[in-house]
Amino acid sequence: MKKRIGLLTSGGDCPGLNAAIRGVAKASYGMFDCELVGIEDGFKGLINGQYKEMTERDFSGILTRGGTILGTSRTPFKQMRLIEEDGVDKVKNMVETYQKLNLDCLITLGGNGTHKNANLLKQEGLNIIALPKTIDNDIWGTDVTFGFHSAVDIATEAIDRVHTTADSHDRVMLVELMGHKVGWLTLYAGIAGGADVILIPEIPYNEEIIIEALENRRKSGKNFSILAVAEGALSENEAKMSKKDLKRFRELSPNYTVSYKLANFITGKTGFETRVTVPGHQQRGGSPSPYDRLLATTIGAYAAEMIAEGEYGYTVSMVNNKPLARPLEEVAGKTRAVDPEDELIEIAKRIGVSFGN
């Protein structure tokens, strides 16, 4: 019996999405008779009925390609059941599009928000399999997400490239990396790039301790310092604030990110020449690393095996380098944050890295 499989990518793009799509498609074509339908621009396409029938040719030559051939968008979970000014019942439309296309299942590739939306559709009775992608590596229940290691490579190179200019000009350099809520990317890239200070959301920092670390380096004859800073890093005072108060506090200086505020503080306290660099969306771009190509292919092929067995309502997790099916309701709404006592934190501290605490 022929199976019709829908595919959509949602949320921020990242390297490895196309590799995972390819893994699903090639394994499915090889295992059973099937037709694949690409839903365009994420859940928005499912809501609005935007899709394209795909052939085997569509999945050729995309292993090394960054971004997503299906297009993507952000559709926040908290808005899914809201009927807004346009009068569109989003959930009703998604179910109707699924039924109109005669899908046997829908594969959703995305991060935390995508997993919540996928679980919502599971609750509506649709056959769903979710695949874990995000450069933040913060999906609960999986050791790693595809896209993460490619972003670590890019972020590490950004740190590598400021070492020489920092040394030449006797500067303090802050490299601000992506990560609003979790610090996995900054932690990995900071250690790999030889940062002297690493600031992540899970460990609130004290500005005076950072100053002490920088001054101690100067006293020891090291004329420059590198700080890897997650965009969501918080000072100890900010960490005590409610979300509402924190928002008001940051609106007092809307043109300054955490790194620019900290750079101004460092210069004011020490007189050290300080600069900020923000790689930004470069961390999401480009070709996936070999590791991510392998990981995404493994996850995609495992999803095809689940389709063959009729196992729906799961996300594909990687645990101890092996894929396994984990119920969506166990994953949706949870975040995998860095434990302040994680072994990597301890290793970094042993080699002299300061976390500002």
Which residues belong to the active site? 136
State how far the Cα of 292 lies from the Cα of 147, in Å rounded to an integer: 6
**Helix or strand (DSSP H, E) at 307:** helix 290-309
DSSP 135: T
What one-letter code names the amino acid at 114?
T
Which residue is listed with tokens 């989003």? 90
Indicate the helix (H) or strand (E) that contains 228. Answer: strand 225-230
**3-state class of 66 per DSSP?**
coil
Q: How do 314-319 and 322-327 pair as beta strands? A: antiparallel
* Strands of the 3-9 sheet, one edge to the other: 51-54, 34-39, 3-9, 105-110, 128-132, 314-319, 322-327
Q: Which two tokens stand for residue 119?
A: 């679980």
Distance in angstroms (rounded) separating the CA atoms of residues 279 and 229: 11
CA distances from 124 to 118, 127, 219 (A): 10, 9, 63
- What is the phi/psi pair of residue 286, to 5°? 85, -175
